[in-house]
Amino acid sequence: MAETKKYWKGIEELTKPESVKGLAENEFNTEISTEEFLGNKENLEGSQTSRRDFLKYMGFSTAAATLAACEAPVVESIPYVVAPEEIIPGIPNYYATSYFDGHDYASILVKTREGRPIKVENNKMAGINGGANARVHASVLDLYDSTRLNNPLINGEEANWSDVDAGISRDLNAAVASGKQVVMLTSTVMSPTTKKLVKEWGAQTNGFKHVMYDAFSYSGKLDAIAAATGKRALPTYKFQNADVIVSFGADFLGDWIGQNVSADYASRRKPGKNMSHHIQFESNMSLTGSNADLRHKIKPSELGNALIALYKELGGNANGGETNLSAQVKDAAEKLRKAGSNGLVVSGTNDADVEAITIAVNKLLGNGGTTVDYSNRTYFRQGNDAAMMQLIEDMNAGRVGALFIDNLNPAYLMAGNSKLTEGLKKVALTVTFAEKENETTALCKYVCARHNYLESWGDFMPADGVYSLQQPLIRPLFNTRQTEDCLVKWMGKNGTYYDYLKANSAATANWKKALHDGVYKASTAAAVVGDDEPGFFERIFGGDDTDSTEQSETVSGGAAVDIASISSRLSKTKGGAYEIQFYENTAMGAGILANNPWLQELPDPITRVSWDNYLTISAADAVELGMENTNESNGALNGSYATVTVNGKTMENVPVFVQPGQAKGSMGLAVGYGRSAAGKVGNDVGVNAFLLMDGSHSAEVKIEKGTGTHGFACTQLAHTMMGRKIVNEVTLDTFLNQPARGEGGWNEVTEFETFKGPLTSDETNLWDDFDHQTGHMWNMSIDLNLCNGCGACVIACHAENNVPVVGKEEVRKHRDMHWLRIDRYYSSDMTEEVAEEQGISGIDMYAAMEKPSSSPEVAFQPVMCQHCNHAPCETVCPVAATTHSAEGLNHMAYNRCIGTRYCANNCPYKVRRFNWFQYEGNSKFENNLAMNDDLGRMVLNPDVTVRARGVMEKCSMCIQRIQLGKLTAKKEGRLLKDGDIQTACQSACDTGAIVFGDVNNKESEVFKLKQNERMYHLLEEVGTQPSVFYQTKVRNRA
């Protein structure tokens, strides 16, 4: 029943509704005299504007005019017309994909924000290469490189795809009609579907050949393996099973054969009875050598003889084997014999003979399947130097009618081979598929603008039983097309490569799950892949043309390998007075990402030099050749120039870097630099070692001193620890058998005599302590045994925290902005003990300590803000811009910072970084692509402020991730779990050296690590009480 209730608002409304109604109608009690004023003209004219009024009007109009004159920048943000379901602004999405650039492969997760890929993360589900290296972490920036090709090119002019398609089709028909070869030249192709597609496409023409060539070739190694096992594919190396590792020049922690073994290696580097023992024979100081327990210097030409000596020590029959390292080889042999099948010998050359002996040594150890698995192969390197040489010969002989080059830059990689460019001119149709203009695109008629990997579909078969997918994360930014799509189109097929891939993929049945995970697990893949013979490719595609030739001469087990003749050939190798060893350095690899400023600015883990490559020579050779490294008055490093002649080719002005640990008589030179058409960042950085290189990784060299000096951008000026307790280290024997704590212990905590008796620095306090028990207490553990110095964390930090790139000149002035740096220390021959023994005075002792040993031990130490709980920076800031959080972190309020730099001065760890200039939006820093290029800016992490000039910045322990983790847990109504929050450096570290967490959670890993007897704080005695702690380095030797 409806009832009309009447509510009253006041007693008056109830009692006298009429009067209230009257009041409501008459809102203004008194009449407003507008009419009186405005209607009366006389009155209006007679009114005077008072001085006050005049000033008011004038003030207002001036202000209004001023405001109107200021044009506010127009920032357009365009809303989605149809909002994608999965995108919530502010919430990142992660997609699994795979990275492969012809050289590096990794299975990765990519973080996208509002549809923009901004960060690469490791894919923990990956069967192989789930740990991305520094280059893969940096690759996301290349997506936003504004120098990428926007359109395909015909003869260097921008064109549209239909013209390109028509032109290629016409020219290809002509080439086929002429009866000449049609050749597809690519990098290693790890994609089974691409291979199949290429094969299908090639089948349409007669005389089609597919040639693979690797940027840094291991063709000789593959040949030797093919001769021994019958299959031209690399074995899987299982470092996790190796008790003793002996490496002959293999930089397996740096760049080797594409298999990322650092996590496997690290799994056996945890101190304990189970710790592996690693012996390295090498000429250059490599990342691997610097992590070895024993490192022996040897010239590249002597590696073969040392291996023969080892083979003989282990009971093999061979010729030669004279080496001046016989004692060291004997020692290695003994250890290997003891380890038996858990021993592992690896070598790192492109010389088939060396690899043949290595295979034979491993066979003697009986480690097949345990540490070297020939039945589970990897396909990271499949290039064939002989095929490539044949191709060049064919081109020059006019036998090639059409050449398609994909994912490879032969004009740069074979810069020393003039026949290549000559040959290219004789090919009627030259097509290259490239993301950017490079050295090769200039020589080709058609340039098919290629997608970035983040825009492409694909699949990879990095190893037997491992399958991964690549999916696009963003619509193509430019008018580009991926190579496979071109082939699909040219074959006249319906649909796109996506359809082709989906139909032909090994994971077709489980497409969605495979796409989600990025990888297709071996358990499910087994049905497809099979065990050993025939391999995966054969099963799917029925043989592979690169394999077919070798297969005829296969004998399994290596019995047919003629050790006697190989060893006598090898033992006759004559080295020169000076030999050069080409290598790939950590930042640049083969130089594919040379236009990536993050990588260019990444200091080499060994030399700490960025923006350069250089000839590394030993101190003794430097003295002999009259070369030197000196420091300018501002600390910047300078080096002499050398004129280098290799294989009859001379290169002038090669900068010289004196490298401790370099074998005397040997020199190192990194490839990947000296690009001439990489883009504005990468052009003319360093020298092109490929000009000198001739397939082999090492060669005889003639060297002369050049004129002038070269300026290096070296971030570290002092190289030794000066007898200080910085990287604490101990031998395994001491670690196992002696007490850590207490007086004389190997990890003794410094105590101070006080009136209360001896106290540690944590207990002696001038200040009131913060409450560390309530809530979270974030701590970080860094295991110096697991860190191998690879630099992936540095790049991850760059990408996560929008760290600016400052360029060579600024790095040279020691103004690098890295929030996280990896300090590298060499041991010195001088110690306090030596000085005492020899009666050397303090002054002379410290002067001698500054000099690294010629065979130094190396230690790496990642250092970021230590988040001191008694932070020296916090007390000195006049404006309280840096303060302490209740969770044990040291905060930085950029808005409050006035830039006195007092905090940086007072930081014992020197981790604070000052914005000396405006690095964002400043044309002077155009190398800082991520901040000075409209497209480059897309890579910035929107959760992290881009800092302005004059502001101090530093590691925040990825505060944005901590907040996100806490909020997520809160939203889900649960407590934060250990591992919910991972800092960028931690998640980039595939060896697990960095562990972050809450020490108030007694179940957390970081809490357990804090109780570890190896735990120590850096500069503990200063009393800063850092939240970051380190785990003592343990070296496995007496």
Partner 1 sequence: MHYEAPIRKPLITGDKSYHDITVDVARPVETKAPRSWWLVFGISLVAFLWGVGCILYTIGVGIGTWGLNKTVGWAWDITNFVWWVGIGHAGTLISAVLLLFRQKWRMSINRSAEAMTIFSVIQAALFPGIHMGRIWLAYFVFPIPNQFGSLWVNFNSPLLWDVFAISTYFTVSVVFWYVGLIPDFAMIRDRAVRPVTKHIYKILSFGWGGKAKHWQRFEEVSLVLAGLATPLVLSVHTIVSMDFATSVIPGWHTTIFPPYFVAGAIFSGFAMVNTLLIIVRKVFKMEDYITIQHIEMMNIIIMITGSIVGIAYITELFIAWYSGVEYEQYAFLNRATGPYWWAYWSMMTCNVFSPQFMWFKKLRTSLMFSFFISIVVNIGMWFERFVIIVTSLHRDYLPSSWSMFSPTFVDIGIFIGTIGFFFVLFLLYARSFPVIAQAELKTILKSSGEKYKQLHEKDGHH
Tokens in use for 391?
């191709």
SS3 assignment, position 423:
helix
Q: What's the rounded Cα separation, in Å, for the pair 764 and 759?
A: 6
Tokens in use for 274?
């189970």
Stretch that binds partner 1, among 523-531, 679-687, 897-905, 934-942 (CB under 8 A): 897-905
* 632 makes contact with partner 1 (CB under 8 A): yes
266 dihedral zone (left: phi>0; alpha: psi -120 to 50; beta): alpha
Q: How far is the CB of 902 from partner 1 (least distance, A)?
A: 6
Among residues 297, 399, 719, 798, which is the contact residue for partner 1, using CB under 8 A? 719
CB 867 within 8 A of CB 673: no
Stretch that binds partner 1, among 269-277, 369-377, 610-618, 1016-1024 (CB under 8 A): 1016-1024
Residue 669 bridge partners (DSSP): 582, 615
Among residues 308, 858, 892, 897, which is the contact residue for partner 1, using CB under 8 A? 897
CA-CA distances (angstroms) from residue 634 to 383, 980, 1010? 46, 44, 40
CB 512 within 8 A of CB 487: no
* 419 makes contact with partner 1 (CB under 8 A): no
CA-CA distances (angstroms) from residue 137 to 787, 860, 1027? 17, 20, 27
Specify the residue for token string 């597609």: 197
Q: How far is the CB of 952 from partner 1 (least distance, A)?
A: 8
246 dihedral zone (left: phi>0; alpha: psi -120 to 50; beta): beta
Q: What's the rounded Cα separation, in Å, for the pair 561 and 573?
A: 19
Q: Output 490 or 846, the one with its CB closest to partner 1.
A: 846
Q: What's the rounded Cα separation, in Å, for the pair 111 and 987?
A: 13
Q: Can you give 142-156 as a three-state secondary structure string?
A: HHCCCCECCCCEECC
CB 459 within 8 A of CB 501: yes
Q: Output 489 or 815, the one with its CB closest to partner 1.
A: 815
* 886 makes contact with partner 1 (CB under 8 A): no
Among residues 14, 23, 64, 718, which is the contact residue for partner 1, using CB under 8 A? 718
Q: Output 632 or 836, the one with its CB closest to partner 1.
A: 632
* 745 makes contact with partner 1 (CB under 8 A): no
Q: How far is the CB of 337 from partner 1 (least distance, A)?
A: 40
Tokens in use for 511?
């497409």
Q: What is the CA radius of gyration of the chain?
A: 33
Stretch that binds partner 1, among 120-128, 179-187, 279-287, 876-884 (CB under 8 A): 876-884
Tell me the CB-side half-sphere exposure of residue 424, using CA atoms within 13 A: 24
Among residue numbers 843 through 862, which ones bind partner 1 (CB under 8 A)?
843, 846-847, 861
Residue (of 356, 386, 361) closest to 570 by Cα position: 356
Among residues 270, 649, 808, 815, which is the contact residue for partner 1, using CB under 8 A? 815
Stretch that binds partner 1, among 85-93, 377-385, 700-708, 904-912 (CB under 8 A): 904-912
* 879 makes contact with partner 1 (CB under 8 A): yes
Among residues 898, 967, 970, 1003, which is the contact residue for partner 1, using CB under 8 A? 898
* 743 makes contact with partner 1 (CB under 8 A): no
Residue 1016 bridge partners (DSSP): 1030
* 908 makes contact with partner 1 (CB under 8 A): yes
Q: How far is CA 473 from the centre of its chain?
A: 20
Tokens in use for 334?
């003994």
* 923 makes contact with partner 1 (CB under 8 A): no
* 899 makes contact with partner 1 (CB under 8 A): yes
Among residues 487, 952, 959, 981, which is the contact residue for partner 1, using CB under 8 A? 952
CA-CA distances (angstroms) from residue 492 to 192, 405, 909? 21, 20, 63
Among residues 84, 875, 970, 1003, which is the contact residue for partner 1, using CB under 8 A? 875
Which stretches of 29-105 are DSSP H helices? 34-38, 41-46, 51-69
Q: How far is the CB of 880 from partner 1 (least distance, A)?
A: 4
* 744 makes contact with partner 1 (CB under 8 A): no
Specify the residue for token string 């250890």: 335
Q: Output 439 or 816, the one with its CB closest to partner 1.
A: 816
Among residues 66, 494, 634, 923, which is the contact residue for partner 1, using CB under 8 A? 634
Neighbouring CB atoms inside 10 A of 502's CB total: 17
Stretch that binds partner 1, among 142-150, 237-245, 868-876, 992-1000 (CB under 8 A): 868-876
* 828 makes contact with partner 1 (CB under 8 A): no
CA-CA distances (angstroms) from residue 404 to 185, 246, 427, 488? 6, 41, 10, 15
Tokens in use for 1029?
């702690």
Among residues 228, 515, 687, 863, which is the contact residue for partner 1, using CB under 8 A? 863
Among residues 880, 921, 963, 967, which is the contact residue for partner 1, using CB under 8 A? 880
Among residues 814, 891, 966, 1010, which is the contact residue for partner 1, using CB under 8 A? 814
Total residues in contact with partner 1, by rule CB under 8 A: 66
ω before 235 within 30° of 0 (cis)?
no
Among residues 1024, 1027, 1032, 1036, which is the contact residue for partner 1, using CB under 8 A? 1024
- End-to-end alpha-carbon separation of the chain, Å? 98
Q: Output 633 or 737, the one with its CB closest to partner 1.
A: 633
* 1016 makes contact with partner 1 (CB under 8 A): no
* 618 makes contact with partner 1 (CB under 8 A): no
* 872 makes contact with partner 1 (CB under 8 A): yes
CB 434 within 8 A of CB 147: no
Among residues 896, 963, 970, 1003, which is the contact residue for partner 1, using CB under 8 A? 896
* 738 makes contact with partner 1 (CB under 8 A): no
Among residue numbers 170 through 189, which ones bind partner 1 (CB under 8 A)?
none
Q: How far is the CB of 632 from partner 1 (least distance, A)?
A: 7
Q: What residue ranges in 60-199 does DSSP mark as E strands?
A: 93-100, 105-113, 116-122, 153-154, 157-158, 181-186
* 885 makes contact with partner 1 (CB under 8 A): no
Q: State the burial class of residue 938 (Cβ atoms within 10 Å of its Cβ: 0-12, 13-18, 19+).
A: buried
157 Cβ contact list (under 8 Å, min separation 6): none
Q: Output 98 or 866, the one with its CB closest to partner 1.
A: 866
Among residues 338, 425, 949, 970, which is the contact residue for partner 1, using CB under 8 A? 949
Q: Output 416 or 1023, the one with its CB closest to partner 1.
A: 1023
Q: Output 812 or 1014, the one with its CB closest to partner 1.
A: 812
Torsion angles phi and psi, residue 705, rounded to 5: -75, 135
Q: How far is the CB of 610 from partner 1 (least distance, A)?
A: 14
Binding residues vs partner 1 (CB under 8 A)? 631-635, 716-724, 726, 810, 813-816, 821, 823-825, 842-843, 846-847, 861, 863, 872, 875-880, 896-902, 904-906, 908-910, 912-918, 948-952, 1018-1019, 1022, 1024
